[in-house]
Amino acid sequence: MRVFMLGWEFPPFISGGLGTACYGLTKAMSSIGTDILFVLPRPVSTPFSTHLKLVSPRAGSPLAVPSTEFRLDEFERVTFRTINAAIGDPYQTAEEFEEAMRSGGATPQPGEKPYVVQEPGQPAPAKAGAPKAGDHYGGDLFNEVQRYAALAAEVARHESFDVVHAHDWMTFPAGMAVAALKGAPLVVHVHSTEFDRSGVHVDSRIYDIERRGMHAAIKIIAVSYLTKNIITHHYGIDPNKVEVVYNAIETNGNGAFDEEKYKIHRDEKIVLFLGRITMQKGPEYFLAAAKKVLEVMDNVKFVMAGSGDMTRRTIEMAASMGIGHKVLFTGFLRGPDVEKVFRMADLYVMPSVSEPFGIAPLEAMSHDVPVIISKQSGVSEVLQHALKVDFWDVNEMANKIIAVLKHPPLASTLRQHGSFEVGKMSWTDAARACVTVYDQAVGAMNGR
């Protein structure tokens, strides 16, 4: 089977879990014999592409649009094609987009949509002149999404494949265009919805694109039952059309680590938040719990690794709570720095308000770090050896943090069982499940 795959981020161009998921899933599909043409909306930037093997377009290939074709050594059956559409990072501000265009470099790290955020236990503040939902989309993203769709269709015109697989809303118009052009079945993969990202401040333009893509698809892949329920209830989709395929992580061993080199103080415990600092990820609840923990334990530092539209506000919030000296902000981390911060951590906390899946807890467990996750996450459906708490229950979150930090046997049990549990989760299983969905889509298209 050959798949025409559409995605807007892929390592090393990542701003979140979607790129990580596309990498793991595509690599696993290649390993089980699935041929993939993966179309990306940005050129390969040389400083970040040392792991790529650039190749020329095939001889005689009648390419109608300028593009770059490349392969990754470990992706034997995958061809990547980048086309000149400036989707970049959709979660940046207009100012960040303009600066990126002026500098001609890679887009800045993600700054998520401006949200009206409710403090724990307090009504949402009303601010005069607050940005409207969707104002963060730098440049003319919606036109670029349509441009990407047109260019992807031109690439597809000269290719043969059995199924179209589109990841998240920015590729749905491209998926619909390609499927209509070639008469191929469309499978859309929902990694998050506008309801996850924006809560009550839904951007109607994005919702409309998501809804059209889901209704046009023959089959839908959701990353959790939490996401499936949103799809069926908010988008009017038949539940029988939606298949759940959980994400995973690569577990190839993490190598030796010089713990002494990265110590802060060994009498201090490290509690880690890693993710976008946005409404969706619940940073204010993390800080509220941190304050309660510090009322009981002083030898704790809270590390917030990531960036987003709430970064400045979160820093100011920590200062106003009197715990600014106990909260460290690292900014956006990638590659080896992510591994270092996991290795330093005594505990990882994911207090997400709405998390379709959540790969970071799996990464933490693979580094032998105990985890606390919100019940409002897809990953809570599959993890049995993680402590779970409602994101809004900061008292219970603080109690669980204190329990793990104060009771080594509990932390040890979570580490041992968690590491074993995450080791059983495989991208190969996810890849096989996706291929099954492809077969169902092709069968439905052919009336079987």
- CA neighbor of 247 nearest in space, from 10, 4, 15, 28: 28
For the cut 70, the answer to whether the pLDDT of residue 161 exceeds it is yes
User: Residue 115 is which amino acid?
Assistant: Y
Chain-centroid distance of CA 258 in Å reads 29
Spell out the domain ranges in the chain: 2-89+121-248+427-445, 259-423
Task: Point out the least confidently predicted range of 74-78, 124-128, 422-426.
Answer: 124-128
Chain-centroid distance of CA 297 in Å reads 33
* CA distances (Å), origin 427, targets 24, 91, 433: 6, 27, 10
Give residue 214's pLDDT band: very low, low, confident or very high (50, 70, 90).
very high
Give the integer Cα–Cα distance in Å for 250 and 174.
29
Q: Residue range 149-176: average pLDDT? A: 94
- CA neighbor of 362 nearest in space, from 229, 221, 246: 246
Q: Burial, 239: exposed, middle or buried (Cβ in 10 Å; 0-12, 13-18, 19+)?
A: exposed
Q: Residue range 188-213: average pLDDT? A: 92
Give residue 263's pLDDT band: very low, low, confident or very high (50, 70, 90).
very low
12 upstream amide cis, omega within 30 of 0: yes
Q: So what's the pLDDT on residue 183? A: 96
For the cut 60, the answer to whether the pLDDT of residue 279 exceeds it is yes
* CA distances (Å), origin 95, targets 114, 265, 278, 331, 445: 13, 39, 18, 18, 45
DSSP annotation string for 297-311: -SSEEEEEE---TTH
2-89+121-248+427-445 and 259-423, same CATH topology: yes
Q: So what's the pLDDT on residue 332? A: 86
Q: What is the pLDDT of residues 80-105, one digit of tens each?
A: 888 877 665 555 443 443 343 333 33
Q: What is the pLDDT of residues 401-435, one digit of tens each?
A: 999 999 999 999 999 999 889 988 999 999 999 99
For the cut 50, the answer to whether the pLDDT of residue 54 exceeds it is no
SS (H, E, C) 148-176: HHHHHHHHHHCCCCCEEEEECHHHHHHHH
The residues that bridge with 13 in the sheet, in sequence order, are 10
Question: Which of 13-27, 103-117, 417-431 shows the highest mean pLDDT?
Answer: 417-431
Q: So what's the pLDDT on residue 357? A: 94
Q: So what's the pLDDT on residue 16? A: 64
DSSP annotation string for 43-69: PPPGGG-TTEEEEPPPTT----S-EEE
* CA distances (Å), origin 394, targets 19, 269, 301, 326, 357: 31, 19, 17, 18, 21
Q: What is the pLDDT of residues 348-379, one digit of tens each?
A: 999 999 999 999 999 999 999 999 999 999 99
Give residue 112's pLDDT band: very low, low, confident or very high (50, 70, 90).
very low
Residue indicated by tokens 């979660």? 91
For the cut 70, the answer to whether the pLDDT of residue 436 exceeds it is yes
The Cβ of residue 273 has, within 10 Å, a number of other Cβ atoms equal to: 26
Chain-centroid distance of CA 303 in Å reads 20
Q: Which CATH number fits domain 259-423: 3.40.50.280, 3.40.50.300, 2.30.110.10, 3.40.50.2000?
A: 3.40.50.2000
Q: Residue range 430-446: average pLDDT? A: 95
For the cut 50, the answer to whether the pLDDT of residue 123 exceeds it is no
Q: Residue range 135-149: average pLDDT? A: 73
Q: So what's the pLDDT on residue 237? A: 97
Q: Burial, 129: exposed, middle or buried (Cβ in 10 Å; 0-12, 13-18, 19+)?
A: exposed
Q: So what's the pLDDT on residue 335? A: 79
Q: Residue range 332-354: average pLDDT? A: 92
DSSP annotation string for 390-416: -TT-HHHHHHHHHHHHH-HHHHHHHHH
Q: So what's the pLDDT on residue 447? A: 77
Q: CB within 8 A of 143, min separation 6: which ones?
A: none
Q: So what's the pLDDT on residue 265? A: 53
Q: So what's the pLDDT on residue 98? A: 39
At CA 268, angle to CA 266 and CA 273, rounded to 5? 115
Q: So what's the pLDDT on residue 93? A: 42
For the cut 60, the answer to whether the pLDDT of residue 135 exceeds it is no
Give residue 8's pLDDT band: very low, low, confident or very high (50, 70, 90).
confident
Q: Residue range 296-305: average pLDDT? A: 95
Q: Which CATH number fits domain 2-89+121-248+427-445: 3.40.50.2000, 1.20.120.80, 3.40.50.300, 2.40.33.20?
A: 3.40.50.2000
Q: Residue range 234-244: average pLDDT? A: 97
User: Residue 26 is which amino acid?
Assistant: T
Give residue 302's pLDDT band: very low, low, confident or very high (50, 70, 90).
very high
Q: So what's the pLDDT on residue 194? A: 93
* pLDDT, the chain, mean: 82
Percent of the chain residues past pLDDT 70, beyond the cut: 77
Q: So what's the pLDDT on residue 441? A: 96
Q: Residue range 142-164: average pLDDT? A: 92
Q: So what's the pLDDT on residue 13? A: 58
